[in-house]
Structure 1
Amino acid sequence: MHTFTVTERDVTQAWVAACNKLDRKDNPDRTGLHTVVRIAEPTSDDAMFRAELDRLRTARGLWPLETVASTLFPAALAARSASPDDLAERYRRMYPVVKRYPGNHRGTYFGRLVSYPSVSKSVDQLGTVISRLRAQAAGTKIAAAYEIDLAEATDRDTDTETGEAGADLLVHTAGKDNSYIGFPCLSHISLQLDRDRRVHAAALYRSHFMFERAYGNYLGLGRLLAYVAQQAELACGTLTVVAGHARLDGPITQLRPLLTGTGRLAA
């Protein structure tokens, strides 16, 4: 079993480190199980590096990284929205159109956050999580709850055994998401509040393709975390991404110069 844990300052450094951990002679498949990527400043990355990576992605017919990031957090729409409730309502109105785009027919990650398909009704998890974090910060500052994706998105009560409350964003829907591959690869996002009023996030993926999705996913998750923290009047903390199965896909020969810092990508 090949696995790794990397901790880096920003998105670019973390992505490069993770890819290099997968690209090893003793790992010919360039895959890993239960990999952990921790990013101290998840809203920061190297713009020039991103542009180079995007250039190669475009040549391969992949979405721009900004488009990938927007499936997790639509930053432009959020900037035009007056509040989390306004953002959620705007997105829900446009969601049917978003689903018509190639690859979105089963929905988007952000769609699951603001319109989770619960048994009885759709649930705005984003607004609920922000309200809970704001309330926790003003009161006892409970750090977290310890969750496995067994609950409904409507299960928001304090744990009767521990007395703790947490902040969770569910993506996977039991009984509905039965595909072996494809959406949703992201299953769960858990947020924790520390004693210094910083919000940290941990995201669990069942699988992660490093070239096709991971960099854009890191960007989107970091922006989502920053937005939640800002709206809850807290500071943005660390992002941790756990992948059950990670794979370094893509044109590895063309990627290596960028991963080693020895030159520009050759499209």
Structure 2
Amino acid sequence: MTGSDFAEGHVFTGGTVGAVWGRALLALSEPGTGGERSPLLFVVDGGAGEDPAIREALDDFLRAEKQTSVEDVAWTVFPESIWRIYGSKGRTAFFAGYRRALPRFVKASPANRRGIYFARMVGFDLDPATGEPTVGGLPDEGNQLETVLRLYERGLEVRDGRRQGVQRIKLQVGIFDPVRDHTPGPYLPFPCLQHMTFEPDVRAGVLHTSAFYATQQLVRKAYGNLLGLRQLAAFMAGEMGLDVGRLSVFVGVEKLGNTTKTRLRPLVEAVGSALGEVTT
């Protein structure tokens, strides 16, 4: 495979979350693809929004399939509804409110029993069922987002006439935990998201964000994940006083998902129509 072949079939870019996701859907649903790509890269432009027609078509499909909605998937990556409640009080209140409510979130949905992505970001060693630390001694009580923000803010401080600066290698958060996640069972539903990095470009005034997924289901999860990551990037950029830059999401294996192409056909046609592309 040449570099141009990889870019053409495995890299999807665009100005909206819907367009980027939609182009991947059309590619993976083509005959002869086997319904997956390995690897795959999504790149969403800074400041990107959504495509209402694509979002509506996908949510209609997920509802008919009795699958989790786009909004609920996005919420596991960034709970924007909780941020709206606590935002006026600042991030400390936001993080604390989320951590207190974590056991309630887990109890409300059996799918969250092994954990929630945002919980691993703001309380890496928390037991999701009890909200209590399992290890302790981690920086900022395991709140990796707070650690990243503090390191960045410390790097902006001026001492002796010079800005301190920050090593960008430190501005990252881990999700996968070998202690909890290297299990002997044949199926591991969580976590597919493994790692994130934040790349501030102070000179340009933007924050770029990157994420890595080991595997991902395109139809059931990818749009919601992209939306949640975009919301998280906006939150972090806001706390850093920067604009939102590119969101790059690398997926080791992107799978179309557990559905037949016959059932998927109306969604593919709706997305193709919204993108102005002919589907066959």
Secondary structure of 2:26's counterpart equals: helix
2:26 paired with 1:20: yes
Deviation, 1:46, is: 1.4
Does the 8 Å contact 1:134/1:233 carry over to 2? no
Pairing of 1:30-41 with structure 2 (within 5 A):
30-41=35-46
Report the number of matched residues: 242
Deviations 1:5-27 (A, max 9, x none): 12211100100112223223341
State the partner residue of 2:220: 212
Partners in 2 of 1:78 and 1:241 — Cα distance? 23
Secondary structure of 2:42's counterpart equals: strand
Secondary structure of 2:110's counterpart equals: coil
Larger CA deviation: 3-12 vs 214-223: 3-12
Does the 8 Å contact 1:40/1:237 carry over to 2? yes
Larger CA deviation: 94-103 vs 171-180: 171-180
In structure 1, stretches of 5+ residues that fail to align are: 146-165
State the partner residue of 1:56: 61
State the partner residue of 1:176: 180
Aligned with residue 120 of structure 1, among 136, 141, 163: 136
Among the aligned pairs, what percent are the same residue?
26
Partners in 2 of 1:21 and 1:134 — Cα distance? 42
State the partner residue of 1:92: 99
Matched AA of 1:113: M
Larger CA deviation: 1-10 vs 208-217: 1-10
State the partner residue of 2:168: 144
Larger CA deviation: 45-54 vs 65-74: 45-54
Matched AA of 2:177: T
Deviation, 1:115, is: 0.6
Does the 8 Å contact 1:4/1:35 carry over to 2? yes
Matched AA of 1:178: H
Deviation, 1:135, is: 3.2
RMSD: 2.1
Deviation, 1:140, is: 5.4
Task: Check 1:42–1:239 CA distance in 2 against 1; reply closer, same or farther (3 A cut).
Answer: farther
Task: Check 1:86–1:248 CA distance in 2 against 1; reply closer, same or farther (3 A cut).
Answer: same
Deviations 1:165-221 (A, max 9, x none): x31111111221124421100000111012312111111001010111000000000
Aligned with residue 16 of structure 2, among 7, 10, 31: 10
2:79 paired with 1:74: yes
Larger CA deviation: 65-74 vs 109-118: 109-118
TM-score by length of 1: 0.84
Partners in 1 of 2:230 and 2:72 — Cα distance? 14
State the partner residue of 1:187: 194
Does the 8 Å contact 1:201/1:237 carry over to 2? yes
Rg comparison, structure with higher value: 2
State the partner residue of 2:50: 45
In structure 2, stretches of 5+ residues that fail to align are: 126-133, 158-162, 276-280
Matched AA of 1:104: N
Partners in 2 of 1:140 and 1:23 — Cα distance? 50
Partners in 1 of 2:167 and 2:226 — Cα distance? 23
Matched AA of 2:145: L
Matched AA of 2:142: V
Secondary structure of 1:116's counterpart equals: coil
Matched AA of 1:75: E
Matched AA of 1:177: D
Deviation, 1:127, is: 1.3
